[in-house]
Structure 1
Amino acid sequence: MNIQSRHPTTADEFLRWNEGREGKREFVRGRVVEMMINVTRRHWQLASRLMLQLASQVGVEQYNVGAAEFGVRAGEGVRFPDVMIETFSGDGKALATNSPLFLAEVLSPSTMADDFGQKARDYLALETLQHYLTLSQDEVRVWLWSRDDRRQWMAPEIVESGQVTLRIDGKPILIDLDALYRGIVGN
């Protein structure tokens, strides 16, 4: 007997269906989208270093800082950003958050159009989101979308050296690009 599993049609169904499965996928516009599971060393290093820089400044008592294994409900779907900050939550069994404060994606040739396109639109529609950052893995260059004082999104700031300053719930957070990219670009 050959049993076919039905693909999910909602974000909740997707989260239950996806739990424990091998590989990586997102749920976008009612469809399961297979994602890249192998990343380059540069991608891994940038995401790891960014997560460490953020965690050392925001404090893990008040915020969760994590990597790509935890989902974000974006629109009607579920995305898995490379790095995320959310306010500390008590539900330890949750598979995704509705309220990220910061999201970051490390660009890859296969994801670049989505990271600047539909994924960016999905993320920027999240009411709680304060910043969205994309990072090149081929050169020191990041794009930072931030909300202004009226909670409107400003055009992305492109930064190629020095520091990027975020405000998470009004608290300044510095991302040191020199430390983030040290030994990565050009190797």
Structure 2
Amino acid sequence: MAVIIKPFSLTVEDYLKQEEKAIDKSEWIQGKIIKMAGASANHNRLTLNLSRLLPLERGEQNYEIFVSDMRLWIEESQSYVYPDVMVIQGEPEFTDSQQMAVTNPCFIAEILSPSTAGFDKSQKFTLYRSIPQLQEYLLIDQKSYRVELYRKVGERQWLFTEFIGKDAIVELEIVNIQIAFSELYKRVKF
């Protein structure tokens, strides 16, 4: 999604009050408001395809899957963001009884837009890496058959793997699943 950075700061309380009444979503990153724009058809297709392919359970392990409208609170950076797809292993940890934001995803995916690709790869990934439960971060290109996977392999260590081509298959270890690009990119038009 495209972002516009507004040149003013709000307290977290003011941001949450504003979001309750807002028609359009905004992220709150370290006191700065980032207004989010609408998503393209491909963005929506990829978000839905990925969330449809992710498991709700594997053996004894249950997962919760949240898409674009669920806020993520990142304690270390004091930030609220809206990832495209999040998976939580076990029970979600919410910030309050209204269940408007979670804190414990083990997997996050972002669909790259031309206007947000750099932001998602750098600043957002820096924020996400501070989440103790996060094990995998997936970046999906909506203009070509290309996916970037970052997998946590140690304390402050992430392994980067790139998948390219319509016959590629990406393996997500945290949810124990392989996703074929033929399924992930179904109905996506380049």
Structure 1 counterpart of 2:83, from 81, 84, 106: 81
* Counterpart-to-counterpart distance in 1, 2:188 and 2:172: 23
Q: Secondary structure of the equivalent of 1:145?
A: strand
Structure 2 counterpart of 1:119, from 118, 124, 134: 124
Structure 1 counterpart of 2:171, from 151, 165, 170: 165
Q: Secondary structure of the equivalent of 1:120?
A: helix
42-51 vs 90-99, greater mean Cα deviation:
90-99
Q: Alpha-carbon deviations, 1:123-168, whole Å to 9, x = none?
A: 11211101110100000000000012x3543232101142111122
Structure 2 unaligned blocks of 5 or more: 1-7
Q: Which amino acid aligns with 2:47?
A: A
The structure showing larger relative contact order (alpha-carbon pairs under 8 Å, at least 6 residues apart) is 2
Q: Which amino acid aligns with 1:89?
A: P
* Counterpart-to-counterpart distance in 2, 1:126 and 1:42: 28
Q: Secondary structure of the equivalent of 1:154?
A: strand
Shift of 1:17: 3.2
Shift of 1:32: 1.3
Q: Alpha-carbon deviations, 1:52-104, whole Å to 9, x = none?
A: 00145659x82210210001112211110011111333766221111111101
* Counterpart-to-counterpart distance in 2, 1:86 and 1:94: 14
| Structure-2-length-normalised TM-score | 0.82
19-28 vs 85-94, greater mean Cα deviation:
85-94
User: 1:133–1:144: 8 Å Cα contact kept in structure 2?
Assistant: yes
Q: Which has the higher strand share?
A: 2
Count of aligned pairs between the two proteins:
175
Structure 1 unaligned blocks of 5 or more: 1-5
Distance verdict in 2 for CA 1:139–1:90, change over 3 Å: closer
Query: What percentage of aligned pairs have identical amino acids?
Result: 26
* Counterpart-to-counterpart distance in 1, 2:180 and 2:189: 15
Q: Which residue of 2 aligns with 1:153?
A: 157
User: 1:8–1:17: 8 Å Cα contact kept in structure 2?
Assistant: no
